[in-house]
Amino acid sequence: MKFNRILSFSLATAILFSYGSCSNERTPSAPEPPIDPPKPATYTDVQIIDMVQKETLKYFWDFAEPNSKLARERYHTDNPGMDAGVISTGGSGFGLMNILVGIKNGHIPRNEAVSRLTTALTFLENADRFHGAWPHWLNGSNGQVIPFSTMDNGGDLVETAFLVQGLICVREYFKTSADTAELGLAQKADQLWKGVEWNWYTQGQNVLYWHWSPNYDFQMNHRLQGYDETLITYILAAASPDFSISKEVYTQGWARGGAIKSAGSQYGIPLIVNHNGAGQTVGPMFFSHYSFIGLDPRGLTDEFINYGAATANHAKIMHQYAVANPKNWNGYSAKNWGLTASYSRNADGTTGYAAHQPGNDLGVISPTAAISSFPYTPTESMDYLRFLYNQNPKYIGVAGPYDAYSVHHNWLTPRYLAIDQGPMSPMIENARTSFLWNLFMNAPDVRQGLVKLGFHSTQHGF
């Protein structure tokens, strides 16, 4: 979702945005009227978990782009036809993983899911690619690139990495099936991911670049350097059988030769890593979500960083920030917390977009921040889910929790973004069963790539 993700914070998560990967709102909307709250209910934790996983899946099932069956960039319940044919590449990768969780939990029929996935992967097979990388946005009717900005009209390596993370999980899930259609699906996913020319995006340097355009070459000049949401791009680039990068690209690029490390702390909790654009605190929560839907951070270390500690501490600091509430926003609490990139409230009450974080706190909570942190903060994330489902159902709509709201301003937006809905159910499932983590981390090429970069995983035996 690179989108206003990037506009709002540093050069490192700079161009857009996520997603980050998403939403270029071109014209302000009118202030949204208050919504009468539904009557609160009392659900058990098990019921709440089941509901949030079923409901967020609807975004990628009921509201998928109808031709490709991939994820729409956005869905607005107050304007359902807006950008109906715009596909989110990264959001579609998250959607693939949502569908696998839906199959596993019996929320969608397996045969229907296989049919849809086959349609989606066939569409990707015929869609525009640029040295193997898909663009940020695709036209759902014909697979052609929709420019994200003037120079962002070619390959988007980060959005491609989010998509490939899902493709590898699809391959691993179906690769031993005795069913012809399922085995064919696995083979198609394998061929698609292996076609990405990761090393092209280095320009022969020891760093990966986010974009390449057939018209503007590498003029966007956006290097991928940590710590932000782009780690998965380096892992997959190292894992590629035909277009692999060297360890030096990772060490000098992502890890900045060790400068990724931080000795700082917040609320007595070590930062572990320097968050791009965040100064001496943490960035938006999606930094610790997008790469880790497949990549298991638990016990995952390289020569510089313990990623299990870095991701968990990120969520813990974000929770403590809401408790401390230094800006005295009405409604922030131990149960109502979580800042990340999402739709946001403009000063005039209209809807915009912002990369919410401690350094850019606008009094707006993004549900995906706390919910997608479930593996890191299970108690605090469950408290948040109870806050939503048992106390404030007005913040929940047809596809799960709405993208953003503010108690302080009595504001919510009845809208959804693919990159925000996408991580919630998969990360809950990882917390419950390690389902996607096991699929991705046990993929032979992924393991080989991680070992090549000097990673060790206590959870997965290397």
In angstroms, the CA 350 to CA 344 distance is: 8
What's 112's DSSP letter? Answer: H
Instruction: Give the pLDDT confidence score for residue 462 in this predicted structure.
Output: 96
Residue spans of the domains in the chain: they are 2-21+40-457
Instruction: Give the pLDDT confidence score for residue 16 in this predicted structure.
Output: 35
Q: For residue 91, which amino acid is it?
A: G
Instruction: Give the pLDDT confidence score for residue 20 in this predicted structure.
Output: 38
pLDDT digits (tens, 9 = 90+) for 87-109: 999 999 999 999 999 999 999 99
Instruction: Give the pLDDT confidence score for residue 368 in this predicted structure.
Output: 98
In angstroms, the CA 183 to CA 179 distance is: 6
The sign of the dihedral angle between the CA atoms of 91, 286, 381, 363 is negative
| Number of Cβ atoms within 10 Å of the Cβ of 206 | 15
Nearest 5°: the CA angle 406, 381, 283 is 65
User: Which residue is associated with the tokens 């009468």?
Assistant: 36
| Element containing residue 172 per DSSP (H, E) | helix 157-174
Instruction: Give the pLDDT confidence score for residue 30 in this predicted structure.
Output: 41
| Number of Cβ atoms within 10 Å of the Cβ of 42 | 9
2-21+40-457 carries CATH number 1.50.10.140: yes
pLDDT less than 70: residues of the chain: 1-39
Q: Please give the structure tokens belonging to residue 347.
A: 């000063």
Where helices occur in 266-306 by DSSP H, the ranges are: none
Instruction: Give the pLDDT confidence score for residue 25 in this predicted structure.
Output: 33
217-225, long-range: CB within 8 Å, 24+ apart, which pairs? Answer: 219/151, 220/15, 220/151, 220/152, 222/6, 222/11, 222/14, 222/15, 223/12, 223/253, 224/12, 224/157, 224/158, 224/253, 224/254, 225/12, 225/253, 225/254, 225/256, 225/260, 225/276
pLDDT digits (tens, 9 = 90+) for 237-296: 999 999 999 999 999 999 999 999 999 999 999 999 999 999 999 999 999 999 999 999
